Structure 1
Amino acid sequence: MDDENHVPERLTNSASLSEPSDRSVISPAVDSFTGGTSTIDLNNSTFPGSSDFDAVETDPSSSDKIAEWDFQLPRLRFAASTQNAANIDQGSSTFDPAAFARAVQDGANLLSLIGYLDRYSREKVSYQINDEIEGFPLMFYIVESNNERLLRHCVSKSGNPEAVHVPSQIPLLVFAIVNSHNVEGDKTLLVATLLSLGASPNVLPSAFYTPYLQDLPETGPENSANSEIEGARFNTPWCTEDVSQRLASALTLSQRYFIQKAANLRVPTAREVDLAQRRNAEGLLGISYFLIGQSLASHLLLRKLLSHILSPSKRPLVMVFAGPSGHGKTELARRLGHLLSLELEVVDCTAFSREIELFGPREPYSGAAQGSPLNNFLAKNAGKRCIVFLDEFEKTTTEIHKTLLLPFDNGEYQDRRHRSNINCSNTIWILATNAHDEVIQDYFESHQEALSDPTNQDEGVRLIKKLASEVKEDFLRTFGPPLTGRISAFIPFLPFSVGEQAVIVHKYLLELGESVEGPVNLSTGPKEKLLGNVRLRIRRDGSVCRILAESGYNIHLGARSLITAVDTVKSRLVDEYLEINEGFSEHPEKTECFVDVQADEIVVTMSASK
């Protein structure tokens, strides 16, 4: 079993119901997806024992300082006497959690951190990975780094996703949310990852995220419960007035959405977890936690994949992703590849009408020696688990359909370059199509309330299975029996609800904020950047994103239609930016831009430089 995808034990306790590229640098002050301020290579740095640690700040965990904790971890440093300690490769034979926390805080190279963890068996690391460093569990330092890959790897080594800072009783999930407000960049992925790895959303009072589209008051939600705990709200010991305000200020629309979604998701059974671990496919169990919408499609996909790996077949898995454009078909395939660490080949079927164009020519035709991208991908991954995503499959021809019958039927394919047989029985084929949009939209309109109710998943699953059968019948009429008979599963994708549309708008607004926050660059040429040093703030994000979504969503275009709505905000931001009566400058001070709603109208304003 691959430790990196280990599923925590909490997921095995209940079956009841209760959002990708690698980063090489980790820094608590900078989003790990964009780099770090400093890099420490563990292979060329000291790594002394925990007894050599000092803290720059005093320990905030003492009882008289809990209320003053600002959710900042102590800054760790090595004692002066250990600056010339032995290199990590010559260090102790035991895992050193304190030195590891120090390296994480200093922005150590991600691959070096993972390599250090992998030097030791899971049993050795698990013995200390939940130790406290200066009064805080090691997992708090991992979350502070804002690197989802490092977080996954630590949980695979038995790191506890439900760790708690005992003196304040603050859960790790709450720290992840509030800490996200202290650093730049979007932290939604980290929160979703933590939830997917076993952190329970139930540690948060539901008033903070239900309904997720509702704007949170600055002071936090109204305390409807009669708390029996002095100074606490919602009968939750850690939820003091100060923490409630911090949490309400930090929780974004996207985070509230994924927390509410996690609260309604069915927890995998012990047997499902065992199966996934035995097949090195633990990442499958977290696939529903990362997508906006399409919970039912994710459920059908998960069930089919678990069934397939439980009873392997020489026939490859061939699935149809059916639904309107822009509703997550490609995103679900990419997320599947990311979680399972699989190679993914996306093929735009609009570019091919003949078999020779898609798979490449055979000898003696010109170009046979080079092969096509798809041909070479299948050859490179012969016998391996991988994904081929055929986008807009309805644009393909009968000639291409006939060529696909053999690999779909027995998992065999002939390399066009030298006519050797290739085993593609482990290939996952996904045929994405919007040829059945009318069937899906009519069905959705007739059952919209039940299909959109996240609290009644059983009824939703029953209805989506019935829709899948109707899509299969329509596929049969469109593509014929030979191809239809080789399809393993039909996965319908539904239109987005109003709330899901708003969350997608929020995602695009965050991307806009990231694009304008970088520094101005006055150099001439491709590196020039005149729009920068702007920090985008979204007030009342639920209302703002709902209004933008209602004005822009088109069911035939899906998420793509919402980009246009966000472009209106960008245009107003640019107008405000150009109104500043000073020339462009590379100074680091940032200008704050606020997006708000007044009388159901979107308002964009910009403050003076800070």
Structure 2
Amino acid sequence: MKRKMSMNTHAQFVVPPPAFLHGLPTPKPTLLFAIASDDVNEVRQVLESGEAGPNDQVGPQSALAFTLTNDKLSHKNEIVKALLAYGADPSALRNPELNPSAQVSSEGSEGVSGSHSQPGETMPEGMDPATRYYVTRADSIHTRQTSQLIYRSFFRPLTRVRYDLIGQDWALEQLFRVLSMHSQRLSVAPIVVLLCGPSGHGKSLLARKFGSLLDIPTHTVNMTTLRSTHDLWQSYSMSPYEEPSSDTLAQFLLNNEGERCVVVLDEIEKVEDPKALYSLLMPWELGRCSLETGKRHVDLTKVIWLGTSNIGHNFVFEHHDSRPDPSKPVTREEYRGLMDLLRPHVSQCLGASLLSRVTTVLPFIPNAAKTLSPQDVEAIVMKVLPSYVPSEGARSLHRAVSNQLVDLI
């Protein structure tokens, strides 16, 4: 029995139903084709649409095992990250029913009864450093426990951001705890989160991803451009990653009144006149305010306010260097201690009145990786140069360098 699938008016190809091959269940072919296309966007679209799940079988394998054992994929790491971000279970790699390998006898002949082992490409030592980092991270108990905090809430898609950030697990855990409280209606105040610390550690990336992962509108205010309170509500969105809009912040909030949306206050501490922040006191405390003098109050209870800031830049590094062994990962207790110590610094900069209305201050910390010597840097450069792909340009070098650096974490 054969099934015909028409591709166009001139050609057809025949696909035998997988259910008739070795008694295997019929897989959803869309995920197989998306992975085989070597296009991570295709994989994301299939998973996002619900046409297939990240733990579906692709032939005799799980989707994750199929990806890891496919040596034809140039973007294997990105596809693995996408599968993990949407919930692929790494424990399936240890299941022979979902990750089968050839039966090999003691003489090495296939097809003869003998020991059964996990394919080498699906074992940590058989993965490249970057892939190993993400698979191991997804397989950890802490990752699963953190995900459970918002597993059944509106905020669940945010768990995917952990595959874009490196070394900020405690910040994400604390964020998920705050969001869990709001999901369970344990807190009635609006959500106001300040992301603080050194540049280049993922604050802006998290703020940018927030709205897109939740599929809700975002408005980004460049706080360095404000000169007065009036300027805040009349500011246009300044992010190149958002859809172009001619709406001011006031119009954006009116258009999304009573609905979930995100307002990013980028570089909040660099506002020219601190008085420009005073108009945030009421919406941050009560979830409502009048956007224009004499106008009605607008419902802002569901707005998620995200502020990014370099406040505490030096303090975070000093705290990191003062630890007994800075080369080791920060513990949960150390991170919470840093949160408590950083808050007075933020209060001194932004004012106690404003900070008292902030849900949580999340410091972004340095990665626990050793400082590279010039010899190490030169060695990495020499290793990645052969990975340059002209058709992919600098991205191929970026990927190769990332693979080398992740191995140090």
**TM-score interval, smaller chain:** 0.7 to 0.9
Partner of 1:182: 72
1:322 is matched with 196
The residue that corresponds to 1:53 in the other structure is 3
Residues 1:298 and 2:172 aligned together: yes
- Give yes or no for the alignment of 1:143 onto 2:38: no
Q: State the one-letter code of the partner of 1:489.
A: T
1:437 and 1:244, CA in 2 relative to 1: closer, same or farther beyond 3 A?
closer
- 2: CA distance between counterparts of 1:196 and 1:204? 16
Equivalent of 2:117, from 212, 232, 237? 237
Q: Percent identity?
A: 23
Tell me which residue corresponds to 2:302. Answer: 426
Residue deviations 1:550-606 (CA, integer Å, cap 9, x gap): xxxxxxxxxxxxxxxxxxxxxxxxxxxxxxxxxxxxxxxxxxxxxxxxxxxxxxxxx
Q: Relative to 1, partners in 2 of residues 1:265 and 1:441: Cα closer, same or farther, differing over 3 Å?
A: farther
Match of 2:361 in 1: 490
8 Å Cα contact 2:54/2:63 also seen in 1: no
Offset at 1:131? 4.9
Match of 1:171 in 2: 62
* In structure 2, distance between residues paired with 1:271 and 1:328: 19
Instruction: Please report the TM-score for the alignment, with normalisation by the length of structure 2.
Output: 0.72
Matched, 1:254 2:145: no
Query: Residue type matched to 2:265 in 1?
Result: L
Name the SS of the counterpart of 1:470 in structure 2. helix
For the residue of structure 2 that corresponds to 1:477, the secondary structure is: helix
Contact 2:84/2:135 (<8 A) preserved:
yes
Q: Is the partner of 2:199 in helix, strand or coil?
A: coil
> Is residue 2:350 matched to residue 1:461?
no
In 1, distance between residues paired with 2:144 and 2:266? 31
Instruction: Give the Cα–Cα distance (whole angstroms) in 2 for the partners of residues 290 and 499 of structure 1.
Output: 21
| Contact 2:192/2:306, CA 8 A, preserved across alignment | yes
- Superposition deviation, residue 444 in structure 1: 1.2
Instruction: Provide closer, same or farther for how the CA distance between residues 346 and 448 of structure 1 changes in structure 2, counting only shifts above 3 A.
Output: farther
Local SS of the residue matching 2:32: helix
When the two chains are superposed, the root-mean-square deviation of aligned CA atoms in Å is 4.5
* 1:281 shift after superposition: 2.9
In the alignment, the residues of structure 1 paired with residue 269 and residue 395 of structure 2 have an alpha-carbon distance, to the nearest angstrom, of 43
- When residues 391 and 308 of structure 1 are mapped into structure 2, their CA distance, relative to the original with a 3 A threshold, is same
Moved more, 142-151 or 488-497: 142-151
Pick from 271, 275, 279 the counterpart of residue 403 of structure 1.
279
Structure 2 unaligned blocks of 5 or more? 18-23, 95-104, 236-244
Residue 261 of structure 1: how far off its partner (Å)? 2.1
Q: CA deviation at 1:321?
A: 0.6
- Aligned partner of 2:36: which letter? E
Q: Distance in 1 between matches of 2:186 and 2:34?
A: 37
Which residue of structure 2 aligns with residue 280 of structure 1? 154
Ranges in structure 1 where 5+ consecutive residues have no aligned partner = 1-50, 55-75, 84-96, 99-129, 206-226, 362-369, 454-458, 519-531, 550-610
Deviation at 1:149, TM superposition (A): 2.9
Closer/same/farther in 2, CA of residues 78 and 315 from structure 1, 3 Å limit:
same
Cα distance change on mapping 1:466 and 1:194 into 2, 3 Å: same
After TM superposition, give the deviation of residue 313 of structure 1 in Å.
Answer: 4.5
Q: Is the 8 A contact 2:327 2:368 kept in 1?
A: no
1:124 maps to none
Q: Name the structure 1 match of 2:239.
A: none
The residue correspondences of 1:110-121 to structure 2 (distance < 5 A) are none
- Deviation for aligned residue 1:401: 2.0
Cα displacement (A) at 1:158: 6.6
Tell me, in whole angstroms, the C-alpha distance in 2 between the residues paired with 1:187 and 1:177.
Answer: 7
Mapped partners of 1:487, 1:324: distance in 2: 20
SS at match of 1:132: coil
| Deviation for aligned residue 1:330 | 1.0
Matches within 5 A, 1:209-228: none
Structure 1 residue corresponding to 2:183, chosen from 293, 296, 309: 309
- Alignment CA distance shift 1:189-1:438 (3 Å): same
> CA separation in 1, counterparts of 2:25 and 2:311?
55
Q: SS of 2:72's equivalent?
A: coil
How far apart are the structure 2 equivalents of 1:175 and 1:481?
Answer: 54
> Is this contact kept in 2: 1:319–1:430, CA < 8 A?
yes
| SS at structure 1 position matched to 2:307 | strand
CA contact under 8 A between 2:54 and 2:83: conserved in structure 1? Answer: no
Residue 513 of structure 1 and its aligned partner are, at CA, apart by 6.0
Query: 1:410-433: CA deviations, max 9, x gaps?
Result: 111323499343211111111211
Q: 1:291 to 1:419 in 2, by over 3 A?
A: same
C-alpha displacement at 1:356, in angstroms? 1.9
Provide the secondary structure at the position in 2 that maps to 1:428: strand
1:193 maps to a residue whose letter is A
Deviations 1:183-215 (A, max 9, x none): 45x34332112113332334558xxxxxxxxxx
